[in-house]
Amino acid sequence: MKVAIYCRLSEEDRNKVNKEDDSNSIKNQKAMLIQYAVSQDWDLYDIYSDDDYAGSDRNRPQFKRLLADAEARKFDIILCKTQSRFTRELELVEKYIHGLFPIWGIRFVSIVDNADTANKGNKKARQINGLVNEWYLEDMSDNIRSVLTSRRENGFHIGSFAPYGYEKDPALKGHLIIDPEAAEIVKEIFSLFADGYGKSSIARILNNRGVPNPTEYKRKKGLRYLQPKKAASTLWKYHTIAGILTNEVYIGNLVQGKYGSVSYKTRQCVPRPKEQWIRAEGTHEPIIDKALWKRVQKKVSTHAKPLTPTGMVHPFSGLVVCKYCGYAVRPHKTHGHYYLMCNTRQISEDACPGAFIPAEELEKIVISELRKLNNRLLDLSKLEREIEFEEALNARKAKIQSEQKGYQEKIDEYTTALQTLYVDKSKGVISIRDYYEMSDAFQKEKTRFEEMAQACQDKIEDLDARIQIGDNRTELLAKYLDMDHLTRSMTEILIDHIEIGKRSAETGAVPVSIFWNF
């Protein structure tokens, strides 16, 4: 009788000298099984050994080779220390030990728990072993998930690889420390985006300088990184830049648990709903300050696209609105010059008189108003400036709070409507199809108002922070008074929005109202 010995160890063995060495436990399993095979006068066909593999892993390389050789009838017996060494899944016990092995003429023997398919009387015992092992897998999975959730909630980084810009702290497991070299690139990415460069343009700038992308950087530094399935590109790409710009890890927060396994029986992971993500703030040293982060997130949310030949976003893109219809005015390029024009006029002449101004003209107006504002502030005493500053911000805060209250009323209305709708469906007043159609529409509207209410809350918190800091307008404006041209970074810092109208036939002037960020 030819016997195939199968050994497995799932825990990482600390006694290995090299990765290729079998662990001591594997060696002990082999010695025990070989001795047993000799005592039974069986001929050893081969030894199959999987080290550092879980019993629920169906892709164990030696396990798969064992099954292939069993199907090819290369041996007569499979010998293991215990049934759980072969598998902990009841499904595989039934499929192979009780199903295919008898068809292939293979006898299964495990010496510690006395499983032997040649003994018809212990099939129930094998099935009970399989059930116990299945319970063990499920309990172990629940315990591991509970521990990982707890560590995530307590602000520990759970992951095999540190995010780009950070390293794993050798002194504290689960803590991140800044990687100075990579952190400088992260800062540059945020600064370039804030200055108006698009994601593809930033990638091009880094590639032209020969800056290795995160994967290549970690490979060169000898750091752990996710091995790509195919040949890895060393280039920066749009999606890489986009991922960095929206990752809260760079302001010291950890957002984890975005993906979860389908079941403890598979390693397949699926996205989790946002409300199930685990977020912990202030877990490590930030690379990006909160002010720059907020500017970047605001820009990301507006989806302002690069318009200039250099790949930069135009300084006024997404910041200018028509004073008549309220719609955003986008820059258009004609004969090498940019113009800001309301497109509503093109759709219906009755809907809007039409707002229009050359970008260069608006730029001069903004710079001029900026200098006038600075001169006016300098003429005021410090106390007068502080009073004016706080009154202006409180007035804006009151207006936003009023808007937020209106949105909350709408949220409450849709919440009530959804509850009423459910009752109507339960009573049979409306059909299930109508219920789902109407509830979907109501939920979308409710979500929209929730997002608007949250945007108001973010603005209120920002205003509270500015009031707390105090009047710093003269210091802020002093940085930009010598500028002859506006940059995207300047307009985002200084301007909330601008309203423009139609040029006056009498004076030739375009009505412009600038709403500053202070």
Write out pLDDT tens, residues 312-348: 667 888 788 888 887 778 777 888 788 888 877 665 5
Residue 406 lies in a domain: yes
Residue 36 to residue 13: CA distance in whole angstroms: 25
pLDDT band at 56 (very low <50, low <70, confident <90, very high): confident
Rounded to whole angstroms, the Cα distance separating 93 from 117 reads 11
Same domain assignment for residues 339 and 486: yes
Please state the rounded mean pLDDT for residues 285-293: 91
User: At 417, is the secondary structure helix, strand, or coil?
Assistant: helix
Collapse the DSSP code of 140 into the 3-class scheme (helix H, G, I; strand E, B; otherwise coil) and give the result.
helix
Same domain, yes or no: 331 and 479: yes
Average pLDDT in the chain: 82
Handedness of CA 39, 40, 43, 47 (dihedral sign): negative
Instruction: Give 253 or 84, the one with higher predicted confidence.
Output: 253
3-state secondary structure of 15: coil
Beta bridge partners of residue 328, listed in sequence order: 321
Which segment of 140-144, 431-435, 494-498 scores lowest on mean pLDDT? 140-144
Residue 430 lies in a domain: yes
Q: How many domains does the chain have?
A: 3
144 and 77 belong to one structural domain: yes
* Same-domain pairing of 95 and 193: no
Q: How far apart are CA 201 and CA 119, in angstroms?
A: 71
Q: Quick one: angle between helices 199-208 and 238-245, nearest 10?
A: 110
Q: Residue 513: its pLDDT value, please?
A: 92
CA distance 188 to 181: 11
CATH number of the domain within which 283 lies: 3.90.1750
- Give the model's pLDDT for residue 13: 43
359 shares its domain with 434: yes
In a domain, 270, yes or no: yes
**What percentage of residues in the chain have a pLDDT greater than 90?**
25
- Whether residues 203 and 268 share a domain: the answer is yes
Structural domain range at position 27:
2-151
CATH code for position 10: 3.40.50.1390
User: CA-CA distances (angstroms) from residue 242 to 184, 294, 486, 504?
Assistant: 17, 15, 25, 43
Q: What is the CATH number of the domain that holds 412?
A: 1.10.287
133, 186: one domain: no
142 plus 242 within the same structural domain:
no
343 and 262, same structural domain?
no
Within a domain: 160: no
Q: What is the pLDDT of residue 262?
A: 56
Residue that is last in its domain, among 116, 151, 186: 151
Q: Which residues pair with 320 in a beta bridge?
A: 498
Q: Looking at residue 14, what is its pLDDT?
A: 44
- Model confidence, pTM: 0.49
| Distance (Å) of CA 214 to CA 205, 232, 237 | 15, 11, 11
CA distance 105 to 88: 22
Residues 328 and 292 in one domain: no
Query: Tens digits of per-residue pLDDT, 192-251?
Result: 888 878 888 888 889 888 899 998 888 888 765 555 544 456 788 888 898 999 999 999
